[in-house]
Each structure stands twice: as C-alpha cells, then as structure tokens.
Amino acid sequence: MEFGIGMFGDLGIHPPSVSFKPAQQRLAEMIEEVKLADELGVDVVAMGEHHREDYSLASTEIFLAALSTVTKRIKLASGVTVLSSADPVKVFQDYATLDLISNGRAEIIAGRGSFTESFPLYGYDLWDYDELFTEKLDLLLRLNKEPKISWEGKFRKPLKNQSVYPRPVEDREIPVWIAVGGTPASVHRAAVLGLPLMLAIIGGMPAQFMDFVSYYKKVYKESGHDPEKMQLGVHSHCFVGESAEALVESYFPFYAAQMDRVGKSRGWPPYSRMQFEGGMSRQGALFMGNPAQVADKITELVKMFGLTRFVAHMDVGDPGHPAMVRSIELFGNEVMPLVNKASAEK
C-alpha cells in the first residue's frame, strides 16, 4: 500500500488581501510541504496541471524537477498530465530527464483532463478530446518501450526510424498510470493495456465506484495481464485536522470558495456547508476529519477496492501554508500508521 499527497497549487484569497496569493509564494510553500512529506515517508507526490488564474501550477514537469533536488525518496508524479493537449515526445523527454535527475523517481499519471483551458491554449480542438488521448497515449507508450521508433497517426506527422533521447535511468520504463473520472471507456482502455488505474473520486459516495473497479479487474485479467502486477489507486480530496468540528470551521470557507470558482464556469449551484459535511460523513467522498476518522475511511476504501495506492489531494482552495503543514504532519505521523496497522490486522 502506497500513500501519496496531491496538489494543484491552488491560489486562495486570504484576508486582508482581496486578490489571489502570488504564484511565486505558493510554489515556494509547496516545495517546503513536499520536503516535509518526503521526510515523513509519504510514498508519492502528484502535481496537477492547470491553466487558470486561480492555480499556480501549469508546468508540472519543471516543478517536479525542482522538487527532485530537495527530496530523497518520494516518487514524483504528474497528477495529471493532460495528454490530449500535450506532445507525447516532449512529455517523454521531460519525464525521462526528471527520472535521470531524481535517480528513477519519475511517474506519469495521464488523463484527458476535466479542465479544458489547455486545448485552445495549445491549439487543439476540444471535439477531438478522446481521439487525441487515444492516439497520444499509444505514442507515449511506444516511446517508453522503444529507443528508436517508427510511428504514424492522425494528428501529427509520422516518426520514421526516429531516436528519442534521453532515456530514463537504466533505460527503464517510466510508470504510466491512467487517470479516470468515472468513464467506462477509460476504465476499459487502462485494463486492456494492463496499465495502473488512478480513479478520481471527488463527489458522491466511493461505494458507487465499485462497478468501475470490478470492471477494471475483470477486463485486466481477461486481457491476459498478471493479477499480481495490478495497481489500483484512488485520488480524493483529503484534509486532516485536530478535530472534524474545527476543520469545518477553518477549512470550509476556502474549500467552498474554490469549488464556487470552478463551478461558476460549469453552471454549478453555490457549494454549501451541508454538502461539505455530507462529504465528510462515513459514506462521503471527502477524506477529512481527525486522523482516526480519515484513517478509518481510507482503510474501508482499501478493503472495498483492493487499493495499492491512495493519493490525498490536500490543497483545494489553498487553506494556507501552516494548515497544510499540519495536515501533512498528521497524515504522515498518524493516518498512514493507522491504515497500515488496520491493513495488517485484516
């Protein structure tokens, strides 16, 4: 079982300011937060790509490279690489370079992306959303396996006996996960290819996703892949405080503000305290509360799905650096040991 921490580099508005926190400040804070996670034994950090004014992190590869110089053991992953609007050759080269400077700690979590800003920014048609991902994933996986490649697709010129450098540490294959938000076709793709699945659960009830997990496991085995090598992860919003009651009072305003900023462009109604507290309930998708409460929910999810990785996405709305540090401390020092102990006792 692996434990991870995820961040998008949210830029909150903290009184007395009336504008977003400077991106430079947030990036510096995140470096300190990931250094702490590394020291506490967290297994992986996943950094997400966004192209909006309320997020500080657009160039995930560069930031992960910076993190590689101040950490020792933590795996450095995208979370996600929006592959549909990226160049797979450049993605591979960037993560191969990251792998070299981090001594083999690079990972790619590839997804189609739930945010669409990157498509017009990089000159892609959103109507080609899925077809772009399918083609680019095929090329990325080929590049990961073959130092010299001939390849042809619809959206770019062919590669003819082309060498692509650099190669990762000891010419290993960089782990490539497929991130899924709950689309059966995406689950099927990951299973057929034998790729690890990262399931984003940020709403509803985790139990509702059991059909996707069962389908993935079934197709994975039917496609001839070794069940012993299967990897299944969940990426969910998580925050750990001294008590659930104090967390609601201190964190809800920041969380709701970010949900409303995103929801404004998607036609969502205002995010309510009732939704927040419902998500924190035993059946909800928010892994938030005191360490015992968070550990219990993660343990239940591990048993329900047979997870090999849980990524705690912690900086929604930018709760502030001191609160982030404390949440990471509680996660590493208390939540992780409690989950490991419960898993060992099953």
Q: What is the pLDDT of residues 252-275, one digit of tens each?
A: 999 999 999 999 888 899 999 999
Close Cβ partners of 154 (under 8 Å, ≥ 6 residues apart): 131, 135
pLDDT in tens, 10-67: 999 988 888 999 999 999 999 999 999 999 999 999 999 999 999 999 999 999 999 9
Task: Give the three-state DSSP class for 225.
Answer: coil
Which residues, including other chains, have CB under 8 Å from residue 314's CB and lie 6 or more apart? Answer: 5, 6, 7, 238, 239, 324, 327, 328, 331
Percentage of residues in the chain having pLDDT higher than 90: 89
User: Residue 238 and residue 32: Cα distance in Å, rounded?
Assistant: 19
Residue 194 DSSP SS3: coil
Answer whether 0.85 is exceeded by the pTM.
Answer: yes
Q: Which amino acid is at 121?
A: L
What are the domain boundaries of the chain?
Answer: 2-345
Beta strands 106-111; 81-82: pairing state? parallel
State phi, psi for 104 to the nearest 5 degrees.
85, 35
Q: Is the dihedral of CA 335, 37, 9, 324 positive or negative?
A: positive
What count of Cα atoms within 13 Å lies in the side-chain half-sphere of residue 213? Answer: 21
- Alpha-carbon distance 121 to 59, whole Å? 13
Neighbours of 112 (CB within 10 A): 22
Contact in structure between 288 and 237 (CB atoms under 8 Å): yes
- Using CA atoms, how far apart are residues 161 and 49, in angstroms rounded to an integer? 31
Q: Does domain 2-345 correspond to CATH entry 3.20.20.30? A: yes
